[in-house]
Structure 1
Amino acid sequence: MSDEKNRIANRTFGELISDGFRLFAENYTKLILIFAFFYIISIIIGVFILTDLRWYSDILTAKANIAANKYYNNPNSITQEDYNIIIQSFFMNLLIILLEWIIGAIFTVISMCSVSTFVYKKYFKEDADLFDEFKKAFNFNLLKVILLLGLGIPLGFILLVFPGIILFLYFIFLIFTYNSENRDNPISEARTISKGSYLRIIGVFFIALILTGACNMIYLIIISYVWPVNSSDINSWYNPATRNFGFIILYELVNSVILIVFAPLFICLLTPVFASSKARKDLGIITTEKRINIPMQAYYPPASQYGVPLNNGMFCPFCGVKIISPKKFCPRCGKSIIFE
């Protein structure tokens, strides 16, 4: 096992990404079942929670657009009520984005946590049963992961951006450590393992994001021709008088096909990076900058400055002690005080 840890600890980022794609290909048929299940559940819950808010937001947005046009045509014609509508519309849209992000993040975290140990063991070519690891994944520590990553990251990004980035970089490995053998302090363990791996974590995130985003963009262009849905159709689905939850859910599912297909990619790419970082931590490998120590050159003043003669003795120029009678060496520091 020590040899295996050494091998993984010394693998380059490119090799780890290659390992991640191999994990994605080899375990895809099992992982996609878990991710698709949780993704569909998140869509259904999101539809039932956000449908009324979205309908109300559409009404506010239409009124806010009218108020904005009034302001552009004649800034003096806008009233306090118009200002209130614009502000309400802004915060309503922000609330919907936040809730939508939180719902998606929570179920994404749950799905990644439920397979993290399975993928980690598969990376080390150990025997692992997906169903057994799935059952073990649901414990009290999972709540910590949900609160920190599922709730904390969306709030951090929405409010100030940087807190969300810091939480992601520092604690993304919590999806592995929360269910590890050492569960005493999984948050601190995740933070320790992530040190020195921030660029790799960012790299994994962008690789998964760019690949999924590019494929999703192409898919959405194609699906817009296959199933053209205009705004009047969507409004009729959201309108309380003609509401159709079935079509709303179907529309969300059709537009999320590529996101579901590539959902296991991030955890598969992240697992080798976590394994390498953990191996480096276990082996005590710390990356530091190489420093060149240049010894300080001692300063020797001119001979004429050696000693400070007095009427009754002298002072040592090195330590400052007063020497009453002339001596070859200072009685305190032992340095030569002979004048030449």
Structure 2
Amino acid sequence: MISQQDHLENWRGKLIVNQQVTTIHGLEAVEIGCNLGHDAPPIHLWDKDEFGYYRCPECGLVWVNPQLTDESVAHIYAKGFTSKLKSKPHPTNFLAYRRPLKRLAPYRQYSRLLDVGCFTGHFLLAAREAGWQQVEGTEISSQAIEYAREQYHLTLHEGDLLSLDLPSDAFDAVTLFDVIEHVSDPLGTLRRVYQLLRPGGVLYLDTPHFTSLPRFLFNKEWSVFFPWHRTYFSANNMSLALEQCGFRVRDLRAVGIFPLSRFNAWQSYQAADAIRAAPAPQKHTWIRQHRNTLRPYWLGFKRMTELPFEALSRVGIHIGAKLVVYAEKPD
């Protein structure tokens, strides 16, 4: 690995170590540093599928290095599109979104919401059903964009959030469900969200929690370690990143034993074929076929597993598998 001290330059809000592109399993990748701006030599944790996992000794942020380029990630997403679409719940099944929508409702001043990384727009449908009048989404997958426009007539913007021309101070709420770990520039993404929110608006995000009990138990075999999950946060450095961007954290919890929603786990298993021979477990086929019947029971079980972790988070002990964050842009 190239030293963190070599050839440092600023690139989209993060440190890129070397502009030379390497190739791993036919996919382009580039050496990077800590996204929160620290330049201390990173600590090597382990290698998996020929990608290194590194931790910043100053803030604890963990990232994949070398990191897949945006083009390589888009290629992987294209391979996983069909399987993820099939594993999505029925578009009228909004149980999974009931709690975040309830928390977001008091912020509905202009009734305008943006979902970043919306895929085919199921959360946007749920938000519209809940009374949000203007719902919009961003998505890098042209396949997902085309599907959502044809099926649901949603307003979607194709591309990475940092490349899109969207109005500042315009949205009551911006949401990122299992997204921040995927983007090439998490800090830059949070800064852009801050710009898009109106004063007093709210950000919701969730993401796998690196310093969770399940991660310590499974170490590098934890189910979320794929090269296209490029950055992993703890409760502490997530708070640090949000505060650097100007947010006021209203609620941060580490909940449950499941770091990803089931359909995102399915997509990861399928897309793994682009990296290595790791076919998805066959049990997922049966689950997918009966998902609408099973979903209420699954959500009930999942909620039960979250309760003890939520109680611990309230007293500052964050060991759950998923970080759930609400943060406001001050008035």
Smaller-chain TM-score range?
A: under 0.3
Q: TM-score, normalised by structure 2?
A: 0.24
Q: Which has the higher contact order (CA 8 A, sep 6+)?
A: 1
- Give the structure with the larger strand fraction: 2
- Give the structure with the larger helix fraction: 1
State the structure with more CA Rg: 1
Q: TM-score, normalised by structure 1?
A: 0.24
